[in-house]
Structures are given as structure tokens and as C-alpha cells.
């Protein structure tokens, strides 16, 4: 399918994946008068609870996928590790946005880094690793410390092993299960920022200003906006995100995570990762901007004009990970705290259960 | 039932009524990690589309009501004309909030006005009318112009007839179907304002600042915040809403509509109507405040602390009535317009189909 539809209120957006991102997409779609149909294999998917239509089936169930495609106007996803066969099957029946080719590039850390480097955008040094011998060679080339990451299916620090010295090679190779991998040079960064940007069918790109992120145990802990970086660097970050979105012929919201490094007194940006979906570091936009990343994504995949969001103050977003969500009563009682709980049932260590946003007046600064 | 539960995330709020107010309540509950169960007789209820649990049955179906009560932790409503027998049946099984006694008082324009007057709060002059003779007597007492309104089931100008001169009496009496009625003195008001206030189980009251409303054909057309009234009068409006909420032993959100009249150079407030539910004139709070009226209502009926909402700018809300919703593409393209469409299907004249909110920076003024 190559023609992209323009949805109208009452139409249905199909979403692959039933986690909190799907749930927040569905809530944003509902405000705009659109229905959502969630397709997810997990029975307790929290996105099921806020939509009219749901399919609980494996991503390989072609009969279920065909019924799903029939029932929706367009397909999108909240989860980038959708099997390629699933998106291929669906795109023969309905538009799948963002296009699955973009998904394939960023599903693999090696093709992702190669793609970014080819655009002339900085990244940490990297090398492909498919054997212990290649790992030794990569360490010789890039030095240590460095980080070994599986090419596929990694998120929140999963599938990674640090190589502090060349003698860690064998242990790191075992730790990631000898999977096809990439070795990345360790970057001593000043701070981590991310840009959440939307691109629509007409090629218009609208980016939220860069957010500054703090991770704990490889999981996003806190996002602050505005990032404490010079305005010019913030502009560059937006340009990078737009360049990537255009090169991917992307329709929807994506997030680009970047390191800010001090290169002999001059600050530079290195792209760390592209997330081809709405992103945790954009959750602040629900309460902190006149349109959220979820609304932007829905507008883009619906073939609608993008919103021009305005930030409503200085914003801080704190993730509630695992049993931190048990502090919900504290946040409910805290003046100015906007509490979000994802309805995911029992907290488990490392599981994202909710978030809290604070909006502080900043004298009218806006992006 | 007298003990009021404190809900926890994952619990279910039962909502009677399936219109846009129920839908927006359910969306607010979802952000807080609560489920909603919508009970409504109409098959195409737009609130059904955003919740996990739904019951489509008449308000008189006791078997369905009993199952509904079993499935929820607390019952609330989005619609004040719930039959008294329904709430009586439910409150024997689960807490019903706000309490149905409050509902009964305001379901009847006469008992409502008497209740307000007894609190020492100003209203337009009024008189009970249950026959044409009584209508003639009431017109003699209150003068013309005046307005004849059915005591029950009126909203958006339905069940009203204007009495421009005493000779209109018979026609007006026919126009409202000879139903038990109230004659209200015509008030030449400067402006209409409303206060949306929340009260929780502990008796805490938090009011949004007064909004200024403009009606067209008896239907709310536009709300602006802040209202163009002196600060002291705004304070009085908040006190009136709090007094009413306390006297009703109210738990949840209510709205009090008031007229601002110029009483020989001095401005006074006259209460026009109490809506025992979230209210159209509070829709601006979704985009324009750090917590919405819908979140406040859910917090109150969940036994949770109320939020302390802060206004995010000057706000204007425009209703999309009937086929005005067909202008959705215009609003989508308008920078700064926050569009809400209720998913109600075909537009009909006078039907509330959506709204648009604008937030304009105001230099940090907040309530």
C-alpha cells in the first residue's frame, strides 16, 4: 500500500503492543475522537483497558493479524521489536506507520550506527563483533573501557556488558550469550539529552526542545526540560533529529538520544540511540506542553497536521520504577505533582509502573 | 453503606451515564491507574469506547445494577437525572458519591432554589407553579419578563418558556406541558460566571477560579478564564460554592452557575443553578490547569487528597455544537488549539460534539 489515508474522527488506529506507551497513545487518540485497536500477545496488557477493540494473539498469528488489519484504518506500534514478518504481513493490507524499513534499520544497533554515521552525524566509535576474535580486534581498535551490546532486542541496559580492560573480553562475550554484537567506545559525556520529534506525511518536522535525562541502572530515572545546554547546541540537536527522520522517510514520533561531550572546550553531540516510537523522555509533554508526544504521533499517523506545542513551564519528570509506585499516596498529596500510573499490576524490579511530572513557572520561556 | 473506601490503583470506579462527561472522567481515571466501569442505557455511549468494563442496560434493570455494584469499588455519575430508585438500589450495595440526597435536592429546580435561599445566598426571585392559576399569581408577584421552567429534567434550555408579559401565561403553561414548574424572575445580568469546586471526604474544598460563560441558544458557547470580575467578587463566588458543597455534604465535583448583577453600582452574585457533577464550563481545566476537574472528581470519589491545580495561562474554551464539529480540520491546523472530539457519531443540532481550548501566556498569573 502506498497511498496514505487521512483519518477522520471515529476511525480506528491499530496499535501493535499493549504496554504503557500504547495506553498513552490510546488516551491521546481518544481526546481526538479516534478509536484504537490494541494488538498484543500478553493477556494483561495495560493498554487493553482503555480501548474499544483489542486482539490478544501472538505476532505470528496470521488469521488474527488479518482480522486486525481489516478492522483498522492504519497500523502503528508502541514497541520497536515487532517481528519483521508481522509488519510485512500487515503492510500488504494496511498502511503501517512509521514504515517498517525504518524499524528494521534501528532494530539492529549496527545498521543503526552505520546509518547515523553515513548521515555525517557523530556517534561513539563502534565496530561489529560476531566472534571472540572480532571482539579482541575491536578492543584493540577502540580501546577500553568500552561496551559490548547485542545488535538486537536490547533495551533498558539488557544485552550489554562492559569491557573495562582487554582481559574482560571473554567474560563479556559470554555475558551477552555470544550473540551478534557491536562494541562501542566508552564516551565520557557531560550529560545525556534526547530530542523527541514528529514528522508527518508531508515531511513537516516538529521537535520538542531537547530534554536532559538522568539514568539509574540503565533505566531512565529523571527528565528535565529545558536541558542545561547552550541554545545553539539545542538547535543542532533538533537538526540532527530532523535529518534522521527525513532520511528514514519517517511518519510518526521518534526519539534520538544523544551524549553531550566536551571536546577540548567545545561541546559536541554524539547520537547514542534512535527509538522509532514515542519515548519515555517525552512523557513530560503530557502535562508540560500544549500538545503531547502521544498526540503528535497520532496526528502524524492519521495524516493530520502536526500540533505546534508550547512548553508550559520548567518541567521535571520522574519515573516510578518497580516498587517506587507504592509511593503513589505521597505523590497524590504533593501540590503540583501530576501522577500517572500505568495500570500494570504488580510492580517488579526495573518495571516502569508510572511517572510524576512537575511544572514550575519559568517566566514564560517557551521553545 | 456509610464507610467510604480509599481506592488504590487498579480498583474500579463505576460511572452511571455514558456521555462525554463519563468519557472524560474515565480518561482522567486511566491516567491515575484506575479502571472505570460505565453503566449506560444507550448502546452507542461514547464513554464505552475508553473503558475496560461496560454495562448497557436500563437504569431500572436491578439484576444489571446488582452485577455492576459487585464489580466496582465506588459508584459515581456523570448525569444528574439518574432515577432516585437507581441510586437508592446502588447505595445499599456500594458507596454512591456524591450522595444521592444532594442529587435529589438539585434535580428539582424548586427544592434547589429553596435550598440555596435558605443558606442566605442570593437567587433570582422565584415561585412554585403547579397550575395556570398559580402561574398567574406568580406573574403578579414577580412581574414580567420572567421564565417558566419545569422543576425536573431541564437542561440546555429544554423545558423552559419565557413569559414576556402576563398575557403569555397560558401559552407558556402549555409549552412546558403543564408540568410542575417554577417561575423565575428575569435577571438583567452583566455576565454569567461559574465556579467548579471539588470537595473530598475530609471536607476539604478546592475551587477552580470563576470562569466566565457565554451562552448561545441556551447552550454554553464559550468559557473564559479568568472571568472579568473584581478579585473580591471572585472570592465570594468561591465561598458560595464551598458553602453549597458543605451544606450538601458533597463528595466530588460540582459546578455553581451564577449571574453577576449590577445592583446600583455594586456588583452582586445570584446563584442560577447547581450542577452536581463535572461541568462543561470546567472543560478548560483539561489543558489549562495542572489538574483537571475530571481528575479532581476521581480523586474525591476515590477517597484521595484533592490536587491543588494551578492555571497555566489565560484560557478560552469553545464548544463545538452540532455540525460545528465538522470544522475539526481547521482546529487541527490552528497553532495552539487543543482539540477534543467526543466520539459521539453523527452531529445533531444542539448536540455537544467536542470543544477546543486555547491557552495564552498571561505572565504567570495563577489562581
Of the pLDDT bands very low, low, confident and very high (cuts 50, 70, 90), residue A1 is very low
Residue in B with minimal Cα distance to A315: B290
- A74 CB contacts (<8 Å, ≥6 apart)? A4, A5, A7, A13, A14, A94, A95, A96, A97, A301, A302, A303
Overall residue count recorded for chain B in this entry = 367
Chain A closest CA to B346's CA: distance in Å?
10
Vertex B77: Cα angle to B74 and B82 (nearest 5): 120
Could you give the domains of chain A? Answer: 12-96 (3.40.50.20), 125-185 (3.30.1490.20), 191-360 (3.30.470.20)
Q: Is the pLDDT of residue B366 over 90?
A: no
Q: Is the pLDDT of residue B158 over 80?
A: no
ipTM of the prediction: 0.93
> Is A33's CB within 8 Å of B342's CB?
yes
- B133 CB contacts (<8 Å, ≥6 apart)? none
CA distance A252 to A276: 8
Antiparallel, parallel or unpaired: β A352-360 and A314-321? antiparallel
Q: What is the pLDDT of residue A363?
A: 52
User: How far is C-alpha A366 from the geometric centre of its chain's CA atoms?
Assistant: 23
Q: Which of A246, A250, A270 minimizes the C-alpha distance to A260?
A: A270
For B33-90, the pLDDT digits (tens) are: 999 999 999 999 999 999 999 999 999 999 999 999 999 999 999 988 889 899 999 9
Chains A, B: CB contacts within 8 A come to 116
- B21 CB contacts (<8 Å, ≥6 apart)? B78, B79, B277, B278
For A13-66, the pLDDT digits (tens) are: 999 999 999 999 999 999 999 999 999 999 999 999 999 999 999 999 999 999
Residues of chain A with Cβ-Cβ distance to B328 below 8 Å are: 8-9, 33
Residues A322-337, buried b or exposed e (16+ Cβ, 10 A)? bebbeebeebbebeeb
- Is A277 within 8 Å of A331 (Cβ atoms)? no
For A64-105, the pLDDT digits (tens) are: 999 999 999 999 999 888 898 999 999 999 999 999 999 999
What residue has cell string 457565554?
B214
Looking at the DSSP bridge assignments, the partners of residue B184 are B126, B147
- Is B59 within 8 Å of B16 (Cβ atoms)? yes
> Is B9's CB within 8 Å of A328's CB?
yes
Write the CA distances from A251 to A29, A106, A303, integer angstroms: 16, 15, 9
Q: Is the pLDDT of residue A281 over 50?
A: yes
Cα Dmax for chain B: 60
Q: Cα torsion for A68, A30, B344, B339, to the nearest 10°?
A: -130
In chain A, which among 44-63 make CB contacts under 8 A with chain B? 48-52
CA distance A196 to B367: 32
Q: How many CA atoms lie within 13 A of B149 on its CB side?
A: 25
Of the pLDDT bands very low, low, confident and very high (cuts 50, 70, 90), residue A362 is confident
Residues of chain B with Cβ-Cβ distance to A307 below 8 Å are: 335
For A195-213, the pLDDT digits (tens) are: 999 999 999 999 999 999 9
- A10 CB contacts (<8 Å, ≥6 apart)? A33, A34, A35, B343, B345
Overall residue count recorded for chain A in this entry = 367
> Is B52's CB within 8 Å of A48's CB?
yes
Q: What is the pLDDT of residue B4?
A: 84
* Most B CBs within 10 Å, among A12, A285, A308, A312, to test the B interface: A312
Q: With an 8 Å Cβ cutoff, is A201 touching chain B?
A: no
- Is B223 within 8 Å of B283 (Cβ atoms)? yes
CA distance B80 to B232: 31
* Most B CBs within 10 Å, among A33, A315, A340, A364, to test the B interface: A33
For B229-269, the pLDDT digits (tens) are: 999 999 999 999 999 999 999 999 999 999 999 988 899 99
> Is A32's CB within 8 Å of B339's CB?
yes
Of the pLDDT bands very low, low, confident and very high (cuts 50, 70, 90), residue B364 is very low
Amino acid at each position: 500500500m502506498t497511498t496514505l489515508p487521512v483519518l477522520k474522527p471515529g476511525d480506528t488506529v491499530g496499535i501493535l503492543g499493549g504496554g504503557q506507551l500504547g495506553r498513552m497513545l490510546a488516551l491521546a487518540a481518544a481526546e481526538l475522537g479516534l478509536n484504537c485497536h490494541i494488538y498484543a500477545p500478553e493477556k494483561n496488557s495495560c493498554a487493553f483497558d482503555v480501548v474499544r477493540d483489542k486482539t490478544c494473539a501472538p505476532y505470528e498469528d496470521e488469521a488474527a493479524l488479518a482480522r486486525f488489519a481489516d478492522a483498522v484504518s492504519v497500523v502503528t506500534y508502541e514497541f520497536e521489536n515487532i517481528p519483521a514478518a508481522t509488519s510485512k504481513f500487515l503492510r500488504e493490507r494496511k498502511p503501517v506507520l512509521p514504515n517498517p524499513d525504518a524499524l528494521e534499520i534501528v532494530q539492529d544497533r549496527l545498521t543503526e550506527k552505520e546509518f547515523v554515521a553515513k548521515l555525517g552525524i557523530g556517534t561513539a566509535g563502534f565496530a561489529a563483533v560476531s566472534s571472540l576474535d572480532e571482539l579482541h580486534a575491536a578492543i584493540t581498535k577502540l580501546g577500553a573501557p568500552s561496551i559490548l551490546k547485542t545488535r538486537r532486542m536490547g533495551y533498558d541496559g539488557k544485552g550489554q556488558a562492559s569491557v573495562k580492560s582487554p582481559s574482560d573480553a571473554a567474560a563479556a562475550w559470554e555475558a551477552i550469550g555470544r550473540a551478534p554484537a557491536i562494541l562501542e567506545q566508552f564516551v565520557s559525556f557531560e550529560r545525556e539529552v534526547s530530542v523527541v520529534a514528529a514528522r508527518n506525511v508531508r515531511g513537516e518536522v516538529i521537535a520538542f526542545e531537547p530534554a536532559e535525562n538522568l539514568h539509574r541502572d540503565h533505566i531512565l530515572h529523571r527528565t528535565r526540560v529545558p536541558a542545561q545546554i547552550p541554545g545553539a547546541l539545542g538547535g543542532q540537536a533538533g537538526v540532527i533529529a530532523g535529518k534522521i527522520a527525513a532520511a528514514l522517510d519517517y511518519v510518526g514520533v521518534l526519539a534520538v538520544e544523544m551524549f553531550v561531550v566536551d571536546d577540548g572546550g567545545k561541546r559536541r553531540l554524539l547520537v547514542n540511540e534512535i527509538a522509532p516510537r514515542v519515548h519515555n523522555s517525552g512523557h513530560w509533554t503530557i502535562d508540560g506542553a500544549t500538545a503531547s508526544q502521544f498526540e503528535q504521533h497520532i496526528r502524524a499517523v492519521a495524516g493530520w497536521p502536526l500540533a505546534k506545542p508550547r512548553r508550559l513551564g520548567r518541567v521535571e519528570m520522574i519515573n516510578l520504577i518497580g516498587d517506587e509506585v507504592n509511593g503513589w499516596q505521597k505523590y497524590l498529596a504533593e501540590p503540583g505533582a501530576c501522577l500517572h500510573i500505568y495500570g500494570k499490576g504488580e510492580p517488579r524490579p526495573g518495571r516502569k509502573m508510572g511517572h510524576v511530572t512537575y511544572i514550575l513557572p519559568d517566566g514564560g520561556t517557551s521553545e
